[in-house]
């Protein structure tokens, strides 16, 4: 088992993945307020909005307004998410930092529900996206395999299926002479437990030992921190996370589940283990409290209630 990473990169997704799940409308100004507060914590990358069909995801109907209202801070990347080329073109008309992503679902059924396309059609769409990125000199910075650990619509996903999807994504990149800087394995609907993390990460690592991997974890069934620990023990050094545990997936096939792994809780665990995150935990705690104030109901983060251990150490 590799040594623990010395430093972990936390990719904050709370403003995007969190606010898209809220039942009531969240004021655009409040979304901007949280994004700007998060940018003061030492986080280097914040996913702010998604450029998707507002009829399907009403919480992101104001994506352009939010993106254009953010007062950007030097040294922080402000990104968005999109599912197709039209969404990408919308993003390009805003001041956000535009980075290309290639994505496939390990679950065929989830791909159809989330993207409106099965794997074959989605491969064609990703090929068109890569061509667009190359034409417009947009860097392609990450690949994602969603539902990499299981799916509420399709059931168990085998590591072999994940390996096949990774191979397809890397093959697409090869077609355009591009290298993939990082591949994220996403527990989109909260099926993973530590043995599954070890199995899937191990299978991908065995095939592509030099490929940098990241994890996108949901705490749907309370296993996210255990899964992150297994990832750390396998040398994973980048995680998607959400302030206060905001988030979830609107197409997951269940409701009322917890959101993404909590940014400040994960940062606390890493720091206590001697792994640098580069973030200010006290500032993150204040962001978590702000997020809870904005949504108007309790959020699942733990550190914002218990606090750090600093005041108890002598």
Q: How far is CA 295 from CA 65, 102, 257, in A?
A: 19, 31, 16
Q: How far is CA 189 from CA 71, 254, 258, 260, in A?
A: 33, 9, 10, 10
Of 169, 189, 99, whose CA–CA distance to 141 is shortest?
99
Residue positions annotated with a catalytic role = 249
What is the model's pLDDT at position 118? 87
Cβ-based neighbours of 120, under 8 Å, separated by 6 or more: none
pTM: 0.94
**Helix (H) / strand (E) containing 163:** helix 159-175
What is the model's pLDDT at position 2? 58
Of 294, 267, 290, whose CA–CA distance to 278 is shortest?
267
* Residue 57 CA from chain centroid, whole number: 17
Q: d(Cα 66, Cα 60) in Å, to the nearest integer?
A: 9
Residue 178 near residue 140 (C-beta atoms within 8 A): yes
Tokens for 216? 């996108």
* pLDDT of 223 higher than 90: yes
Question: Residue 277: which CATH number?
Answer: 3.20.20.70
Q: 205 versus 17: which is more confidently predicted?
A: 205
Q: What percentage of the chain exceeds 70 in pLDDT?
A: 96
What is the model's pLDDT at position 264? 98
Cβ-based neighbours of 71, under 8 Å, separated by 6 or more: 36
Q: Is residue 55 part of a domain?
A: yes
Q: Averaged over 90-111, what is the pLDDT?
A: 94
Q: Is residue 4 part of a domain?
A: no
- Whose tokens are 């999109």? That residue is 82
Q: 58 versus 258: which is more confidently predicted?
A: 58
Cβ-based neighbours of 23, under 8 Å, separated by 6 or more: none
Residue-by-residue DSSP string for 91-105: HHTSSSPP-EEEEEE
Q: Is residue 176 part of a domain?
A: yes
Q: Is residue 314 part of a domain?
A: no
Q: Is residue 181 part of a domain?
A: yes
What is the model's pLDDT at position 248? 62
Of 155, 213, 219, whose CA–CA distance to 193 is shortest?
219
What is the model's pLDDT at position 253? 47
What is the model's pLDDT at position 47? 97
* pLDDT of 94 higher than 60: yes
What is the model's pLDDT at position 172? 97
Please count the structural domains in the chain: 1
Q: Which of 23-27, 68-72, 114-118 has the highest mean pLDDT?
A: 68-72
Tokens for 19? 């606010």
Q: 113 versus 192: which is more confidently predicted?
A: 192
Q: Is residue 154 part of a domain?
A: yes
Domain housing 290: 9-306
Q: What percentage of the chain exceeds 90 in pLDDT?
A: 83
* pLDDT of 71 higher than 80: yes
Mean pLDDT of the chain: 93
Q: Is residue 313 part of a domain?
A: no
Dump pLDDT digits (tens) for 116-144. 788 999 999 999 999 999 999 999 999 99
What is the model's pLDDT at position 84? 84
Q: Is residue 3 part of a domain?
A: no
* pLDDT of 96 higher than 50: yes
* pLDDT of 1 higher than 50: no
* pLDDT of 81 higher than 90: yes
Dump pLDDT digits (tens) for 231-280. 999 999 999 999 999 986 554 544 544 589 999 999 999 999 999 999 99
Dump pLDDT digits (tens) for 277-298. 999 999 999 999 999 999 999 9
Q: d(Cα 287, Cα 41) in Å, to the nearest integer?
A: 9
Residue-by-residue DSSP string for 44-65: SEEEEEEE--TTT-GGGTTHHH
């Amino acid at each position: 088992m590799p040594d623990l990473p010395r430093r972990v990169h936390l990719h904050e997704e709370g403003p995007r993945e969190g606010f898209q799940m809220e039942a009531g409308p969240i004021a655009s100004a409040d979304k901007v307020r949280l994004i700007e507060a998060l940018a003061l914590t030492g986080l280097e990358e914040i996913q702010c909005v998604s450029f998707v069909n507002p009829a399907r995801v009403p919480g992101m109907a104001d994506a352009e307004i939010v993106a254009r209202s953010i007062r950007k801070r030097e040294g922080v990347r402000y990104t968005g998410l999109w599912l197709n080329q039209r969404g990408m073109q919308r993003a390009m008309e805003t001041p956000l930092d535009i980075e290309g992503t290639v994505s496939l679902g390990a679950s065929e059924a989830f791909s159809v529900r989330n993207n409106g396309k099965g794997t074959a059609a989605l491969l064609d769409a990703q090929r068109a996206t890569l061509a667009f990125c190359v034409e417009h000199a947009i860097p392609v910075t990450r690949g994602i395999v969603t539902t990499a650990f299981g799916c509420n619509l399709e059931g168990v996903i085998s590591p072999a299926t994940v390996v096949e999807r990774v191979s397809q994504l890397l093959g697409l990149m090869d077609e355009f002479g591009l290298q993939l800087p990082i591949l994220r394995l996403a527990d989109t609907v909260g099926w993973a437990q530590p043995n599954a993390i070890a199995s899937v990460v191990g299978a991908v690592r065995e095939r592509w030992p030099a490929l940098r991997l990241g994890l996108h974890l949901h705490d749907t069934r309370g296993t996210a921190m255990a899964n992150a620990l297994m990832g750390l023990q396998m040398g994973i050094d980048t995680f998607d996370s959400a302030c206060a545990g905001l988030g979830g997936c609107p197409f997951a096939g269940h409701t009322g589940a917890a959101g993404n792994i909590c940014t400040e809780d994960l940062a606390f665990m890493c720091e206590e283990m001697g792994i640098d995150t580069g973030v200010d935990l006290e500032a993150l705690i204040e962001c978590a409290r702000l997020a809870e104030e904005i949504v108007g109901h309790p959020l699942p983060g733990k550190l914002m209630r218990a606090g750090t251990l600093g005041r108890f150490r002598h």
